[in-house]
Amino acid sequence: MKTYSILVVTSLLLKTCSAGIWSSDTNQVDPVEAEKDLPESPTSKYDYKLSFKKPYYYNDSVPFWSTGGDVLKGEEFIRLSPSIPNTSGWIWSEIKNPYEEWETEVSFRVTGTHLHGGRGLAFWYTKDREQPGPIFGSTDKWDGLSIWLDSANPVNHKASTMALLNDGTLSFTSGLDPRKYALGTCSITYRNSPNPTFLKVVMKDHLLSVYLDNNGGGKDYRMCLQKSGIKLPVGYYFGVSANSHTPADDHDILSFETRQLNPPQKLAHPKRPLEEEKKKKGEEFSGIDEEQQEVVSAVYDTQSRTLENLQLLQLQVEALGAPSPEKIIAGDYDVVKLTSGDNAETL
């Protein structure tokens, strides 16, 4: 092979090598640009510390929650108040809610053998926690939001649900009519429902929304009430309480799940060494140890030096007269005579 041919082939091979597995500029992702190209943030984020569901217990307690009163701890439910007259109980989060916009979903059962209900239970979002009292097992003068689920309304003996705000000064056991202070009410029967009843409370854009699903397993919600212009502080506690009158009902909590709404966008970072390989094999990636870091660093340094040498050699070959790879591919180079006389050839 003639010298010029060798130079042309060498130029192409060098370019191919530098553009292959050692490439450092064509396919790599700039970390700064990678963080700009982020996926859309999710509409909600589950908070396991502000939630509980089966299996409930660790060391005989519900993690991040506390119970009290006449609570009975079952494997399939947490019974806040049993079908014994004048009993009451509660479960409260031990952690304050840090979110301005949130959604909670509570599943429960209220069952009894009598014709009419034996009082009911209440959802709480309040400044203080674990304050027993006459309002469905909790304090009368609460500071925050309460949603009453009364299965024994003394007026019409029908189930009623209402939401109320209190600043810690109103006392409804002193004769105040709660209907005059209610943010909204509805009447959706849930006592002795064949399936668990679901209560959903949503706080978003200063709009309080309350939904109930009494037979659809949390997939068939009906609007109970909605009120705009509501401002609830962060840093309050979630809780549920219940009490039983005469006749008495069983009040069981099955789950309490909390989600942050519109969480902030999470930054995306370029994958770390070996991360993609681990995920392709179905393995969990937990980072690399110090020895692996040294190996990866050594491989990277070797590749970088090899690339630099290839680029330098490319320049040297072009200095000897070889056209650049781009010109070869485009056919933009001169035909050169390599010998003279009878054996003259062109390229």
The tokens for 336 are: 């050169």
pLDDT tens-digit series, residues 76-117? 999 999 999 999 999 999 999 999 999 999 999 999 988 777
Average pLDDT over residues 226-232: 97
Higher pLDDT, 285 or 302: 302
How many other CB atoms are there within 10 angstroms of residue 38's CB atom? 11
- What is the structure's pLDDT at 309? 75
Confidence of residue 307 (pLDDT cuts 50, 70, 90): confident
How many other CB atoms are there within 10 angstroms of residue 19's CB atom? 14
User: Can you tell me the distance from the alpha carbon of 87 to that of 70, in angstroms, rounded to the nearest whole number?
Assistant: 6
What is the C-alpha R_g of the chain? 35
Average pLDDT over residues 151-156: 74
- What is the structure's pLDDT at 295? 74
Confidence of residue 118 (pLDDT cuts 50, 70, 90): confident
Average pLDDT over residues 141-153: 92
- What is the structure's pLDDT at 299? 76
So where are the chain's domains?
44-261, 305-335
**83 exposure class (CB count in 10 Å sphere: 0-12, 13-18, 19+):** middle
User: Can you tell me the distance from the alpha carbon of 77 to that of 47, in angstroms, rounded to the nearest whole number?
Assistant: 20
User: Can you tell me the distance from the alpha carbon of 143 to that of 43, in angstroms, rounded to the nearest whole number?
Assistant: 29
CATH number of 44-261: 2.60.120.200
In this predicted structure, the answer to whether residue 266 has a pLDDT above a threshold of 60 is yes
